[in-house]
Amino acid sequence: MKEIAEINNKWGGWSSNNTFHSVYHELGHAVYREKCAMNSEISEKIVDLYSKKYYNIIGNNQWTKNINANSIKWISNAKKENFSYYGLRNENEFVAEAIAQYFCSDNPSDISKEVVKILLGE
């Protein structure tokens, strides 16, 4: 699992290279469903933050899993933000990646910290 985590982190798919990243990522999906489905204020804040970060990194373009010249640029932009490209796929993946990075990285991004603050209602 460590090798998989390192590979996914290197290309920008995961926001940490921790062996347990995928476990925390999946827990992040559960947190997203619980917090955003039950609290419209939290949901709106997550959507707003996601939209801003998506636009800053990808612009008006559509996220793609296909590796091409554009996605390579966006992966690079995401890495500059210390976040994963995959986390920009949608709001659910955004929260899941933020949670995984927050708990698995020695240096969580500002994005991850802000997502956690929103989820905690701060």
**What is the per-residue pLDDT across 59-92, written as a single tens digit (0 to 9) for each?**
999 998 888 888 889 989 999 999 999 999 999 9
pLDDT for 15 beyond 90: no
The pLDDT score that the predictor gives to residue 49 is 98
Let me know if residue 106 belongs to a domain: yes
Let me know if residue 80 belongs to a domain: yes
Evaluate whether 58 touches 74 at the Cβ level (below 8 Å): yes
According to DSSP, residue 29 is labeled H
Instruction: Categorize the per-residue pLDDT at 29 as very low, low, confident or very high, splitting at 50, 70 and 90.
Output: very high
Question: Rounded to whole angstroms, what are the CA distances from 1 to 4, 13, 18, 26?
Answer: 5, 15, 9, 15
Let me know if residue 11 belongs to a domain: no
Tokens of 32: 């997203």
Let me know if residue 12 belongs to a domain: no
pLDDT for 17 beyond 90: no
Let me know if residue 110 belongs to a domain: yes
The pLDDT score that the predictor gives to residue 14 is 74
- Among 13, 11, 35, smallest CA distance to 97 is for 13
Dihedral angle sign, alpha carbons of residues 7, 5, 25, 120: negative
According to DSSP, residue 86 is labeled G
Residues of the domain holding 66: 2-6+18-119
Residues ≥6 apart with Cβ < 8 Å to 38: none
Let me know if residue 13 belongs to a domain: no
Let me know if residue 70 belongs to a domain: yes
Let me know if residue 24 belongs to a domain: yes
The pLDDT score that the predictor gives to residue 113 is 98
- The neighbour count for residue 85, using CB atoms within 10 Å, is 26
| Distance from C-alpha of 89 to C-alpha of 82, rounded to nearest angstrom | 16
Choose the weakest-confidence range: 2-6, 26-30, 57-61, 110-114.
2-6
Give how many domains the chain has, as a whole number: 1
